[in-house]
Amino acid sequence: MPRRFCYIAIPMTDRERYRPIDLDEAGAASAREATRRRLAGGFLVGEQRIDPPCILAPMEGITDRGFRNLIRSLGGCGLTVTEFVSSEAMTRNVRRAWEMAELDPEEHPVSIQIYGRDPQRMADAARFCEELGADIVDINLGCPSKAVTSGCSGSALMREPELASAIFDAVEAAVRLPFTVKMRMGWDHASLNAPEIARRAQDAGARMVTVHGRTRMQMYKGEADWAFIRSVVEALEIPVVVNGDILTVDDAYRALERSGARAVMVGRGVMRNPWILRQIADDLGGRPQTQPTLAMRRAVLGQLFAQRSQGIEREHVVLGRVKKVVTYFTKGLPHGANLRRSLHRSQSLPELFEQVGDYFEFLSARGLEAVFDEAHDEGESASNWS
């Protein structure tokens, strides 16, 4: 069948010129504009407005106070969420748990995520979150790690709907601030019960549900099923957030359109590109997307290095943290694979920082100050940085 074309007007200085547009392209543009209109103004979680509808996902060992503040400073972040905090550890006054729940006085709106399987301890932990100044408390039913699920918490609770309901009820009764829930599609593909668990959460008083488009057994393998999340959207009256595999602005639109969700939650995509929430928010607002230069990326990577190092005296621990950051951050950067190989062989912080400095000088000398996705890791030649 021959392709169909229409003509649209494009304003150009003192006259209008016309160009043919493929109807597939026109349809995509129309869908994107419909998504912008649907999400305009954000949404409410209780009385807390989330605008723009772009949320920083909780990530273990990553989303501490320093990292959250850095991402918020770049713009476009409507809500930050702490890394998950054990209700058991919090209620037993374990110092590390309280450190993980620390909030900045200027960090609002912010949610503290808690996990556990004892309804009373979850309720007590939620009260502590309220006292710490959180705007929202989030209940973790999504973490797939063996360390969490072996204790029958996190996504393991997807297999115990009655216990999950008891936790929802206990938290709702314990605090005045709104509670939300983050979950997976189910434990495995034989038990895709996210719509049921989400309804239970809503019936107990939850004000928002986030769904990662994988099962627990998938961990992070395969692709996130954004279309499945529409079944959760259709089962609820409260806002639903789509999560999983959102690495670009185009991914965000596809996830929103396929799921019908009210917002996106981005985790690993932020590690690769700290500006992604800003770029999504820019596009949703009809503004040109922020395009960070190489100098901006170098400055942010330096800030990430500094905040990863705070409060730690043992150099090998800092090295491990910094290497973890670099692994994500340099995906897609010109010759990033070579940098990662060199850094992972680094034995000291001075050596690592020197290599990073040499790398950025190499890119600058070759006129690559303003590129990111134009040059990739694949197919690097022997003349590349090393």
| Active site positions, annotated | 143
How is 277-293 classified by DSSP, letter by letter?
HHHHHHHHTTPPPP---
- Give strand ranges (E) for the chain: 5-12, 15-22, 43-45, 48-50, 54-56, 79-81, 85-86, 110-115, 136-141, 179-184, 209-212, 240-243, 263-266
CA angle, corner 79, sides to 78 and 80, nearest 5?
135
Residues 6+ apart with CB under 8 A from 240: 198, 208, 209, 210, 211, 229, 232, 233, 259, 260, 261, 262
* Strands 48-50 and 43-45, bridge-based pairing: antiparallel
CA–CA separation, 57 and 213 (whole Å): 14
Residues forming a β-bridge with 9? 18
Distance CA 214, CA 117 (A): 22
DSSP labels for 55-91? EEPP-TTT-SHHHHHHHHHTS--SEEEPPPEEHHHHH
Give the burial class of 37: count Cβ atoms within 10 A of its Cβ; 0-12 exposed, 13-18 middle, 19 or more buried.
exposed
Q: Which of 174, 131, 136, 121 is nearest to 44 (CA)?
A: 136
Identify the CA nearest to 243 among candidates 168, 161, 180.
180
Burial class (CB in 10 A: 0-12, 13-18, 19+), 231: middle
Residues 6+ apart with CB under 8 A from 172: 179, 204, 205, 206
